[in-house]
Amino acid sequence: MTGRFIVEADGGSRGNPGPAAYGAIVRDPETGEVLAERSEAIGVASNNVAEYRGLIAGLTAAAELDPAAEIEVRLDSKLIVEQMSGRWKVKHPDMLALVRQAFAAYEPTLVTYTWVPREQNKAADRLVNAALDGPGAPRAGVAARTAPRPEQGVSAPAEPADGDQASRTMLRIAGWEQQDPPTRQLLLRHGATPHTADRRFSGMGGEDPGLSDEGREQARRAAEALVDRGVEVIVASPMRRTRQTAETVAVALGLEIEWDEGFVEASFGAWEGLTFGQVMERTPDDLQAWLSSTAVAPPGGESLNAVTVRVRRARDRLLARHGGRRVLTVSHVTPINTLVRLAIDAPASSVYRMRVLPCALSAVEWYADGAASLSAYNDDAHLR
């Protein structure tokens, strides 16, 4: 796989509402090769419902190929492009449910949406009509082409997102409006290890070193600093250094620990145990490719896109179990920086420009409506 896909999707209804179907294609962006196709007649539905069903089918097919690839979705529906990009509101409850399904089908931060003229979406449109004309397809006495989209040729005003959970763009200041208390996630990086001073790649699948004497002292000081922070739950990566750090804190706070492998450090594959300088000397092209694209993984390792997928899922599990509570998450550099950049809607590559020190604390608030805010980052005052 290329680490990138193009998804072309369409849907149509002969009658609006009327007999409806969708079509979706996943392509290799370099060669144009069709990697997957999906189409289905869905009974009586509107154009918009059929188009969203096509989008969901395309994203689902892409996820089956590679859930960490970057995707460009090409649609001839201006409405869906603007709604999925968070620029137009989603008002109808039935449509909002479909938008949520689309967001759940694929990691949203890896997807971009592009409007294309209808003539550039003919392949997906052919799948729609084939599904409508196939054996067993619903009939309504109308044998015309897919009905025109009602939004085509209409200059609809761009409406800002209004806080729908389906919107990724929250055009307001998080925390200023009266609402239910957020889930406050305190993020604690583990203490120093023998690899820390040399700045060696030390991820999942490597040596998994434990804390050094310095790291154990850092964990003790972090535990003291957290006694009065109101922590109700501890969730931690099960790697050795995070386990040791979390256990030190748990004893001080009198809490149990939940282990979640979604918060483990990235896998650096063949670079495990090496310094940045050693990697630059031995495999400069691989290193440059990794730094140039979040879809590229170290040889035998894990890309930043893949880390984003599992960290976001781990975060969602945490929010489902402990919504509205104050949760301490003991983790590593890459997962912590990924959570921070998700909270502030920064690009995946921003993690290369973020530095979190051993046993430093950060804090993110996650709101029930999908908004988030960053209230602390890399606070190591308790160590000085």
Yes or no: say if 322 and 338 are a contact pair by the CB < 8 Å rule: no
pLDDT at 178 > cutoff 80: no
Residue at 175 is within a domain? no
pLDDT, one tens digit per residue, over 9-37 is 999 999 888 999 999 999 999 999 999 99
- The full DSSP string for 171-184 is -S-TTSS--SPPEE
Residue at 155 is within a domain? no
The alpha carbon of 189 is separated from its chain's Cα centroid by a whole number of angstroms, namely 21
Q: Which residue has the tokens 């919504």?
A: 323
Structure tokens at 123: 């392949």
Q: Give the mean model confidence (pLDDT) for residues 119-133.
A: 94
Q: Is 195 a catalytic residue?
A: no
CA distance 83 to 168: 9
Residue at 139 is within a domain? no
Asked whether residue 224 falls in the same domain as residue 373, the answer is yes
Residues in the chain: 384
Residue that terminates a domain, selected from 133, 152, 173:
133
- Between 168 and 127, residue with greater pLDDT: 127
CA distance 166 to 66: 23
Yes or no: say if 322 and 335 are a contact pair by the CB < 8 Å rule: no
pTM above 0.75, yes or no: no
Asked whether residue 116 falls in the same domain as residue 229, the answer is no
Least trusted range by pLDDT, from 73-87, 165-179, 227-241, 324-338: 165-179
Question: Out of 8, 265, 302, 365, which one is annotated catalytic?
Answer: 265
167-189: burial string, b at 16+ Cβ within 10 Å, e else: bbebeeebeeeeeeebbbbbbbb
CA distance 168 to 239: 32
Residue that terminates a domain, selected from 133, 168, 200:
133
Looking at residue 241, its pLDDT comes to 98
pLDDT at 3 > cutoff 90: no
Question: Out of 40, 82, 107, 190, which one is annotated catalytic?
Answer: 190
Q: What's the total number of domains in the chain?
A: 2
Asked whether residue 190 falls in the same domain as residue 129, the answer is no
Looking at residue 86, its pLDDT comes to 84
Residue at 374 is within a domain? yes
Q: Give the mean model confidence (pLDDT) for residues 166-186.
A: 66
Asked whether residue 204 falls in the same domain as residue 336, the answer is yes
Q: Give the mean model confidence (pLDDT) for residues 112-129.
A: 95
Question: What is the strand order of the sheet 361-366 is part of?
Answer: 257-259, 233-236, 326-331, 183-189, 361-366, 372-379
Q: Is 190 a catalytic residue?
A: yes
Residue range of the domain that includes 342: 183-383
Residue at 173 is within a domain? no
| Residue 110, domain CATH | 3.30.420.10
CA distance 260 to 236: 6
Q: Give the mean model confidence (pLDDT) for residues 164-170.
A: 40
Asked whether residue 126 falls in the same domain as residue 189, the answer is no
Q: What percent of the chain has pLDDT over 90?
A: 73
Looking at residue 370, its pLDDT comes to 80
| Residue 209, domain CATH | 3.40.50.1240
Asked whether residue 195 falls in the same domain as residue 129, the answer is no
pLDDT at 136 > cutoff 80: no
CA distance 268 to 287: 11
Residue at 286 is within a domain? yes
- 257-259/233-236 β-pairing: parallel
Asked whether residue 379 falls in the same domain as residue 258, the answer is yes
pLDDT, one tens digit per residue, over 71-117 is 999 999 999 999 998 888 888 888 888 998 999 899 888 999 999 99
The β-bridge partners of 56 are: none
Residue at 188 is within a domain? yes
Looking at residue 159, its pLDDT comes to 36
Residue that terminates a domain, selected from 112, 133, 154:
133
Asked whether residue 119 falls in the same domain as residue 188, the answer is no
